[in-house]
Chain A
Amino acid sequence: MPGMRQTPRNAAFYENREWGKNGAAYLRNVRQGKGRTHPGNASRVSIHSLLSGLLDFEATKANGGTKQVGLQCENCGMTYTQFSKIGRFGCSHCYKQFSERLDPLLKRVHGNTVHVGKVPKRAGGKLKTKRDIDRLKKEMQGKIEREDFEAAAQLRDRIRELEKEMNG
């Protein structure tokens, strides 16, 4: 993973191309191809401008009216303010860095915050084991509450096996 950065590595890129100022309008202009006739360019509100509206709203709300500018991705250097203007992340690491702000946004866009679909095969084994462990732990808790200690002990052993498997 690349090292820490204090400034966005492509800060100039934004300023030059006016993304920072008005990302959505910029994108629209580009897509309209300036003079060339392009399919799909009726006057429209871009999804990104809608998003950045939402994001601004969330950011303002989260800070009681004043926008906070401090949040920045360590990997790619994108700030939360930039993200809220463009409506797009700089790298996959931004999801972690901005995570505290993310759930309300995802909830609005998707009505959900947690992925339930396909899992990469390579990550799949571990992830599945982890989900199994979580499920077994819940089950064990239930057994303990019902004072079925024998069953709980069996579950505990199974959990230990899975944990060993996952870490080994």
Chain B
Amino acid sequence: MSKRKYVKQPLSEWMKGEGPDSDVVISSRVRIARNIRSMPFPMMAEPQQSQSVMEQLLDVAESGRLNGLGQLERIRLSDLTELEKLVLVEKHLISPNLANESRNGALILSPNEAISIMINEEDHLRIQCLCSGFQIRQAWDWASKIDDIFEEQVDYAFDEKHGYLTSCPTNVGTGIRASVMMHLPALVITGQINRILSAVTQVGLAVRGLYGEGSEAAGNLFQVSNQITLGQSEQEIIENLHQVARQMIEHEKAARTKLLSESRPRVEDRIRRSFGILTQAMIMDSKEASQRLSDIRLGVHLGLIDDVKDQTLNELLVSTQPGFLQQTYGEALSPEQRDMTRAELIRSRLATGS
């Protein structure tokens, strides 16, 4: 069955390491939340109601109206194992909420995995568009077009005053959450990061780690996203995020140049040590892996390491996660086996240099 591809292979569109400013920005994402008028939100829906929501929304994909996106995969969450769900979470294709809490949850996925449409998550419909590099405007354009297609078929819960109505009041209005995933090692090393992040939170944006709300910023990866969804237009929200992210990118690039010119031996030493450890170590926990892989990524972008691709590093971000490791190497791995398998995987990927 072709759904296996989505859980077996780490590669998604967002991991390609392409697109503008991909030396700092890993991916850009826009998520739109929508609901069907008069139908209770998923949390309050009776099983037959959430069933009918699922059928109605899956029908839009079936009708051929979304064919511009390619051959779509329609996956019912009930057809997946727990481990397969976890893998989809680790690939950022579905939310933990859809994986764990949904009833009659479903997923519509484009072949390159850039578009994932979640059904019966916290809201009836969540359209997510995930692009590689700094392409937040592009992500919004795509997501908005898909929104228009659904709107032709579905009567949305919309109110003149409050806009698109969502289950959580933090999403009401535009229903959009736009985010940019950035790798900011030089700002961390030079001690500028806290000042910058506190400035960012003062202009209505939130900063989180790799896996969203509550996750730590492991591996110097920071996700910057809009907080406000009501009272600003989508264009204002996207432009605000775009401008702030643009400034952060420039600061990071300046810090990298400064690092290289002022303390090259120390930086190079740090990067090569990490490279040595990753290519030799037998046991690697996930925290150390993300730190050292961050060093490698910095080394690649400073031109100190030249035979490792961004795509390899992005795939490793996902394939070294616990769920993915178990999926690849068999269901029951003890924590120590997991750390050994992780070390083995990293050694082999860095050795082939592909």
Contact = CB atoms under 8 A, between A and B. Distances in A.
Interface in A92-131: 92-93, 95-96, 102, 105-106, 109-123, 127, 130
Contacts of B232: 112, 116-117
Given A9-B40, A39-B321, 15 more contacts: A2-B38, A9-B44, A40-B211, A51-B170, A91-B157, A92-B38, A109-B170, A113-B231, A115-B173, A117-B174, A117-B234, A118-B234, A119-B158, A120-B151, A121-B148
A31 B97 contact: yes
Contacts of B169: 51, 87-89, 102, 105-106, 109
Given A30-B100, A46-B214, A109-B170, A95 B86 contact: no
A9 B43 CA distance: 11
A7 to B, nearest CB: 12
Interface string B252-266: 000000000000000
Given A9-B46, A36-B86, A41-B214, A116 B158 contact: no
A112 B237 CA distance: 14
Given A40-B96, A40-B215, A116-B231, A91 B41 contact: yes
A143 B323 CA distance: 69
Nearest to B82: A36
Contact of A90 (B37, B44, B151, B174): B44
A130 B97 CA distance: 38
Given A89-B41, A92-B38, A38 B158 contact: no
A156 interface: no
A31 B100 contact: yes
Nearest to B144: A118
Interface residues of B, number: 62
B151 A122 contact: yes
Interface string B137-162: 00000001001100110011111111
Contact of B231 (A2, A44, A110): A110
A78 B230 contact: no
A1 interface: yes
A55 to B, nearest CB: 9
B35 A115 contact: no
Interface in A38-97: 38-42, 44, 46-48, 51, 75-78, 86-93, 95-96
19 contacts: A10-B44, A33-B86, A36-B86, A36-B323, A37-B322, A39-B89, A39-B210, A41-B215, A46-B214, A51-B168, A89-B165, A92-B41, A106-B162, A110-B228, A112-B230, A112-B231, A116-B231, A117-B174, A123-B158
A90 B156 CA distance: 15
A106 B169 CA distance: 7
Taking chain A's interface residues, is the majority helix, strand, or loop, or is none over half, making it mixed?
loop
Contacts of B321: 39
Interface residues of A, number: 55
A51 B216 CA distance: 21
Contact of A92 (B101, B152, B165, B204): B165
B79 interface: no
A72 B173 CA distance: 23
Contacts of B211: 39-40
The 9 closest A-B pairs by CB, nearest first: A112-B231, A115-B163, A40-B211, A44-B214, A92-B157, A40-B215, A39-B211, A90-B44, A110-B230
A102 B163 CA distance: 14
Contacts of A77: 44
B212 interface: yes
A113 to B, nearest CB: 7
Contact of A40 (B160, B173, B209): B209
